[in-house]
Amino acid sequence: MLYSILQIIAFQALFLLIYDLFLKRETFFNYNRAYLIITSVLSLVLPFLKFPQLKTMATKDMVIHLPEVFIGTKPPTDYDIQIAEQAGIILEQPQTSIWQIIAVTGIAIASLIFLAKITKLYWLKHKNPKRWKGNVLIVKLIKSSAAFSFFNTIFLGEHISESEKPTIYKHELVHIEEYHTVDLLFFELLRVVFWFNPLVYIYQNRIKELHEYIADAKAVKQSGKVDYYTSLLNQVLDVNQVSFTNTFFNKSLIKKRIAMLQKSKSKQLHLLKYALLIPMVFGMLIYTSTEVRAQQKTVQQEQVADQELTDAELIKKYYNKMVTMKKNGATFFEISDFAGINTYDSGKYLLSRTEFLKMKAHGQYISDGIIQRKSEEGTLTQKDINTVSLMRLDKFETYADFKAFKNTKAEKERWESNTQDGILKLYVEDVGNKTDEETKRFNGLLKQLENDDFFNKLVVTDGSSTLVLDSYISNDGVEIIKEEVEIVEVPFSVVEETPTTIDCQDLESNKERKDCFSSFVNKHIGKNFNTSIGDSLSPGRKRIFVQFKIDTDGSVKDIVARGPSPELETEAKRVLATLPQFIPGKQKGKVVVVPFSVPIVFQVQADANSQEYNELVAQRDSILKLSTNKNPMVEQLNQQINELKTNKKVLSIEDMEKYAEERVAAKKRRLNGAIPFSEVEVVPIHPDCKSISNDAEQKDCLASAINKLVGKNFNTNLANSLGLPAGQKRIYAQFIIDKTGHVTSITARGPHPKLEAETIRVLNLLPNFTPAKKGGEDVAVSYALPIVFQIHDSKKD
């Protein structure tokens, strides 16, 4: 949206530039008026017009095609991949950005100012004497010499001499007859919406000048030039300041008006200047139509650059991106969206390299956060470490390892058996050339899709190509239509004349009517669905699969809904039952019943304080992508999630406060009275960091000094001598810097007891620190330190 606003401002600047350079001094006042109004509208419309045909007008990139080289699996075949998925509706609470808040606030203030101006005019109209002269209302302003008009009302000050009133009246009458108030109100409304755009104010100023020129040109013919000049020069400067009224007494305009009255009429040849608008608009259309291509090129260049990075480099890139997003205030769900977690398609068999590496980076990001938090709290257990290992997908070092795993028979069978979300799945060796056994299984699944209402989709894949079917009717059903057979039901995807609304029935193609109908249903659901139901549900995305039929009279019947809770199913049925009567669908010219299905995705936002709940759900969902609900780790996580949900619903406020106090007390006992490192006001000071006074630099110096000591003294050969499998290993260490600055209570958890002992030995080498402070007093502080090292494969060496 911000980009579109910038385009609007840029286009207005160009239009005004042409006007000021070439048209402003011409006497074609009505043409100029039309130019300003048309270009102001064009500036609002052009940024949203995209004509694909104009893309060819832009210069194409010169590309030299080298012979293709295929590495890894075979490329997708030319088999026609049929995709018949319908887009779902996401019902989630919108998040308002700061710039939107500022924009709405500005619009609200500008609206109040606009209303104040309107109120002032009606107040003047009400409190002063008035009389009708034909269709024109004349208001006499007491103790004023102002003169202006608004729609069919002329305001005249009582101090204006009687000899000048006829001239002024004729001038203001022109404003009324030419509907100049409409122009000014249009730009006034633009000023409300685009209150931050100075070009709108310039547009309004230019149109007011033209209004005066037009009125002068007509009025002078009736009064004579000499009398009219005298009337202009003898005015008392008591000027009304309302920006959308036509004012006769305007000091800044009088000189320009006299100059324009004295100017000779422009030659007709100068009308060709308006032709400058044609190439200008055409160029803008080319720009708006090809800008998407430029953006796509940037994305493609970034993708090419990513392809040149190793798996480890890409994981690091995505991980750093997530860390940056968190620092910039991104929410847990926004980071998950970037990683593709919330949009994960359970029907997809093989993740792309980018999808897999983002998921792996997300697992590392979440696990590091869990380890850091639990290390600081002193609650880290071996169970946590095992869970974190699953989340980090440590068993897959590279994307090649992941692909090899997905190519195993056991994984293919596991994927096929997971029919959650109503999706049937079949893995074959070649989608376009199935074996007899595969064809037999395929036909069986088609029958199941046709007869079982729970299933709504069939996904067939060979890892490279994918076939997706979201509806099926056998040859014995209604898809094969014969004239002698009465048609009962025809699927929405194949019906010749789709059911539609009154607003959609005049669209030219059946595809347009289908899109219009789907859009109408989606908007109806989004508008009427009771989102407060989410208050009683656990956080996350909830999918409701809804089916209904549009009968031969256009009414909605046979509504069926399947979802994660009875409340959501009931609400979905209620909303669809409120759909209006449609124009029924037709097949072969006959009215038919048309079934329609729509998936509803309902987003339940988590409580901002439920960090532990979010982490548990993220852990479980990450493991489920490569396992099933029967996995012991998944069952354990589900148990913890249910316990959290139960506690949220059952515990009273007093119980929660007591529980929180007990947790704080237990934490203090574990840490021997030490407080977490994040809570101190002044961090412990390493002997090498005493010359630094800045708090942030002190923290960095402390971390750097500890890491330097560990790196220098840790026996790196020990890990390779223990016979541990190759790969990245982690040791999670924690210690306390007490009130005297001594290092105590060192603990370590790692993949081998000897590595833990080595970690404790090295940390005992730490010097005495200047103790941390909180509230001006020395305090003991806990410090967590993850140590990461790499074990190389000796066989490869």
Most confident stretch, 68-77, 174-183, 496-505, 513-522: 174-183
At residue 652 the predicted structure's pLDDT band, cuts being 50, 70 and 90, is very low
For the cut 70, the answer to whether the pLDDT of residue 509 exceeds it is: yes
pLDDT for position 227: 66
For the cut 70, the answer to whether the pLDDT of residue 654 exceeds it is: no
pLDDT for position 113: 94
What is the rounded distance in angstroms from the CA atom of residue 82 to the CA atom of residue 469? 7
Strand 772-774 with 777-779, pairing: antiparallel
Strand 743-749 with 727-737, pairing: antiparallel
pLDDT for position 236: 39
Q: 394-410 burial, b for 16+ CB within 10 Å, e for fewer? A: bebebbeebbeebeeee
pLDDT for position 85: 31
**Token pair in block for residue 576:** 């669809």
Helix (H, G, I), strand (E, B) or coil at 115: helix
Residue type, 359: M
Tokens 């992941």, located at residue? 402
* Higher-scoring residue by pLDDT: 738, 366: 738
| pLDDT tens, residue by residue, 672-710 | 667 888 778 888 999 989 888 788 888 889 888 998 898
Q: Work out the mean pLDDT of the chain and round it to a whole number.
A: 76
pLDDT for position 648: 39
For the cut 80, the answer to whether the pLDDT of residue 668 exceeds it is: no
Give the angle 520-522-526 at the CA atoms, nearest 5°. Answer: 115
pLDDT for position 633: 66
Distances (CA, A) of 389 to 31, 399, 528, 545: 73, 17, 44, 35
| CATH T-level topology, domain 667-791 | 3.30.1150
- DSSP labels for 124-159? HHHHS-EEEETTEEEEEETT---EEEETTEEEEETT
Helix (H) or strand (E) holding 15: helix 2-18
Tokens 């656990």, located at residue? 538
Helix (H, G, I), strand (E, B) or coil at 155: strand
At residue 66 the predicted structure's pLDDT band, cuts being 50, 70 and 90, is very low
Tokens 């493609």, located at residue? 300
For the cut 50, the answer to whether the pLDDT of residue 470 exceeds it is: yes
Select from 90, 82, 93, 94 the least CA-distant residue to 598: 90
For the cut 50, the answer to whether the pLDDT of residue 655 exceeds it is: no
Q: How many CA atoms are closer than 13 Å to the CA of 114, on its beta-carbon side?
A: 18
Distances (CA, A) of 788 to 706, 716, 731, 748, 751: 14, 11, 7, 13, 11
| 735 in Cβ contact with 744 (< 8 Å) | yes
For the cut 70, the answer to whether the pLDDT of residue 754 exceeds it is: yes
- By percentage, how much of the chain surpasses pLDDT 90? 19
For the cut 50, the answer to whether the pLDDT of residue 612 exceeds it is: yes
Helix (H, G, I), strand (E, B) or coil at 610: coil
What is the rounded distance in angstroms from the CA atom of residue 522 to the CA atom of residue 90? 9
Average pLDDT, integer, range 488-502 = 78
pLDDT for position 674: 77
pLDDT for position 116: 94
Alpha helices in 267-331 (DSSP H): 277-307, 311-327
Average pLDDT, integer, range 355-360 = 85
Average pLDDT, integer, range 737-751 = 88
| pLDDT tens, residue by residue, 269-324 | 888 988 988 998 888 888 887 754 445 444 445 554 566 678 888 888 888 988 88
In terms of C-beta density within 10 A (0-12 exposed, 13-18 middle, 19 or more buried), how is residue 56 classed?
exposed
What is the rounded distance in angstroms from the CA atom of residue 258 to the CA atom of residue 225? 10
* Higher-scoring residue by pLDDT: 71, 726: 726
Helix (H) or strand (E) holding 656: helix 653-670
For the cut 60, the answer to whether the pLDDT of residue 407 exceeds it is: yes
Largest CA distance in the chain: 112
* Higher-scoring residue by pLDDT: 774, 618: 774
In terms of C-beta density within 10 A (0-12 exposed, 13-18 middle, 19 or more buried), how is residue 315 classed?
buried
pLDDT for position 19: 93
| 542 in Cβ contact with 602 (< 8 Å) | yes
Distances (CA, A) of 593 to 550, 557, 579, 672: 6, 10, 16, 74
**Token pair in block for residue 347:** 């029907």
pLDDT for position 502: 80
**Token pair in block for residue 271:** 């009308």
Tokens 């000189």, located at residue? 255
Phi, psi of 530 (to 5 degrees): -80, 95
What is the rounded distance in angstroms from the CA atom of residue 142 to the CA atom of residue 156? 9
| pLDDT tens, residue by residue, 11-34 | 999 999 999 999 988 889 999 999
- By percentage, how much of the chain surpasses pLDDT 70? 72
pLDDT for position 118: 92
Distances (CA, A) of 446 to 322, 424, 463, 546: 42, 9, 20, 20
| pLDDT tens, residue by residue, 311-349 | 888 888 888 988 888 888 777 777 878 887 766 565 677
Average pLDDT, integer, range 739-745 = 90
pLDDT for position 711: 86
What is the rounded distance in angstroms from the CA atom of residue 203 to the CA atom of residue 34? 12
Helix (H, G, I), strand (E, B) or coil at 85: coil
* Higher-scoring residue by pLDDT: 320, 477: 320
Distances (CA, A) of 442 to 350, 382, 462: 20, 45, 13
pLDDT for position 75: 36
| pLDDT tens, residue by residue, 517-550 | 888 888 888 888 887 776 667 666 677 888 888 9
**Token pair in block for residue 62:** 């010169």
CA torsion 270-271-276-277 (nearest 10°) is 150
At residue 127 the predicted structure's pLDDT band, cuts being 50, 70 and 90, is very high
The secondary structure of residue 57, as a DSSP letter, is G
Ordered by start, the domain boundaries in the chain are 1-31+41-59+279-308, 132-266, 408-472, 667-791
This prediction has a pTM of 0.40
pLDDT for position 44: 93
| pLDDT tens, residue by residue, 197-214 | 999 999 999 999 999 889
* Higher-scoring residue by pLDDT: 94, 143: 143
| pLDDT tens, residue by residue, 414-464 | 877 776 667 888 888 887 778 888 888 888 888 777 776 667 778 888 876
Size of the chain, expressed as the number of residues it contains: 797
Phi-psi region of 7 (alpha: psi -120 to 50; beta: other; left: phi over 0): alpha
pLDDT for position 93: 41
For the cut 90, the answer to whether the pLDDT of residue 385 exceeds it is: no
Lowest-pLDDT choice from 87-96, 233-242, 257-266: 87-96
pLDDT for position 120: 92
For the cut 90, the answer to whether the pLDDT of residue 763 exceeds it is: yes
pLDDT for position 797: 46
What is the rounded distance in angstroms from the CA atom of residue 759 to the CA atom of residue 732? 9
For the cut 60, the answer to whether the pLDDT of residue 559 exceeds it is: yes
- DSSP labels for 657-716? HHHHHHHHHHHHHHTTT-EEGGG-SB--B-GGGTT---HHHHHHHHHHHHHHHHHHHS-H
| pLDDT tens, residue by residue, 779-793 | 898 888 888 777 765
| 155 in Cβ contact with 124 (< 8 Å) | yes
Select from 656, 640, 659 the least CA-distant residue to 648: 656
For the cut 90, the answer to whether the pLDDT of residue 232 exceeds it is: no
The secondary structure of residue 97, as a DSSP letter, is -
What is the rounded distance in angstroms from the CA atom of residue 153 to the CA atom of residue 148? 9
For the cut 50, the answer to whether the pLDDT of residue 647 exceeds it is: no
What is the rounded distance in angstroms from the CA atom of residue 391 to the CA atom of residue 673? 33
At residue 189 the predicted structure's pLDDT band, cuts being 50, 70 and 90, is very high
pLDDT for position 500: 86
- DSSP labels for 458-514? EEEE-SS-EEEES----TTTTSS--TTSPP-B--TTT-SB--B-TTTTT-SSHHHHH
pLDDT for position 89: 33
For the cut 50, the answer to whether the pLDDT of residue 590 exceeds it is: yes
| pLDDT tens, residue by residue, 145-165 | 888 999 999 999 888 888 888
What is the rounded distance in angstroms from the CA atom of residue 528 to the CA atom of residue 530? 6
Average pLDDT, integer, range 187-198 = 94
The secondary structure of residue 652, as a DSSP letter, is -
Select from 46, 48, 32, 49 the least CA-distant residue to 203: 32
Average pLDDT, integer, range 347-368 = 82
| 685 in Cβ contact with 769 (< 8 Å) | yes
**Token pair in block for residue 355:** 């999808």
pLDDT for position 345: 64
Most confident stretch, 56-60, 347-351, 656-660, 688-692: 688-692
* Higher-scoring residue by pLDDT: 656, 470: 470
| pLDDT tens, residue by residue, 67-125 | 333 333 333 333 223 322 332 333 344 455 687 889 899 999 999 999 999 999 999 99
The secondary structure of residue 275, as a DSSP letter, is G
Distances (CA, A) of 792 to 105, 392, 644, 797: 60, 19, 41, 8
What is the rounded distance in angstroms from the CA atom of residue 739 to the CA atom of residue 769? 10
Select from 622, 773, 613 the least CA-distant residue to 685: 773
**What is the side-by-side strand order in the sheet with 246-247?**
130-133, 136-141, 153-157, 147-150, 246-247
Lowest-pLDDT choice from 56-70, 241-255, 477-491, 495-509: 56-70
